[in-house]
Amino acid sequence: MTDLGFQLKGSVVTTILLEIQTLSLDSIVAQLREKIEQVPHFFNQAPIIIDLSKLEQDLPLDAFDTLIVSLADLGLGVIGWRCDQENKPTWFSQARIPMLPASKARPILIPEAKPKETSPDVVVKTVVEERLVPQATKVITKPIRSGQQVYAEGDLIILTQVSAGAEVLADGNIHVYGALRGRALAGAKGDTQARIFCKSLEAELVSIAGNFMLSDALRKIIWKEPAQVVLIDDSLDITPL
């Protein structure tokens, strides 16, 4: 996930943490590519950290290098990697990207590939590495056009619509008193109590505290109706208003 906003007062770094649980690099890359194709602007040049802590087998250095190249080809900027400090790979000092210290951040889980007919809708988690104190509410009175990005350090209130291809991001709640057709990300710095409210849910993506859901999943729940999005037990809940 990329930082959104124009003149941020402080550093807001939202990073993807990719937790590897399988040596099947083709499976990992295929699943990431599928997500990126659905929301390419969301992932474009997103900083990513590779976590090897859950691997039960050693990942060879050449396979690790191949993974880095594959992620770069997908438009993801690999900024480092992590592993179990007590079981470092023998090549840890030879890696071409830095090994980072352990973090309390929540990972993106890329499980073993399953047949499509049994695969659940995937909710990807991103990681906020730094949090700032929420600020005052921002009110937008004009439509948010495609390609625009609007960020609020507190709540964000939009009195009109959010067009497809636009992104709105807030550290607090997001209220859209019109159609929400673009991407809306509330609780951007980790506020799990944040919510999204809109008069007509037609979003490409909705996210709260890094947990997001795409339009294909939203269409199965509520579509083109007033709705609110809340986070319950690390899962997004979409309910009518």
Q: What is the pLDDT along the chain (241 residues), one digit of tens a residue?
A: 333 332 323 333 456 777 787 778 888 888 888 877 776 666 666 677 788 887 777 888 888 888 888 888 887 777 778 888 777 888 888 887 887 766 544 444 444 444 444 443 333 444 444 444 445 789 999 999 998 989 888 899 999 999 998 999 998 999 999 999 999 999 888 888 999 999 999 999 999 988 888 888 899 999 999 999 999 988 899 999 9
Do 14-127 and 132-240 come out as alike in CATH topology?
Answer: no
The residue extents of the domains of the chain are 14-127, 132-240
Q: What is the pLDDT of residue 195?
A: 95
Please state the pTM of the whole predicted model: 0.54
What number does CATH give the domain 14-127?
3.30.70.260
Helix, strand, coil shares, percent, the chain, to 5: 15, 30, 50
Q: Angle 37-42-44 (CA atoms, 0-180°, nearest 5)?
A: 80
What number does CATH give the domain 132-240?
2.160.20.70
Q: What is the pLDDT of residue 104?
A: 46
**Unique residue bearing structure tokens 């190249």:** 69
Q: What is the pLDDT of residue 23?
A: 77
Q: What is the pLDDT of residue 129?
A: 43
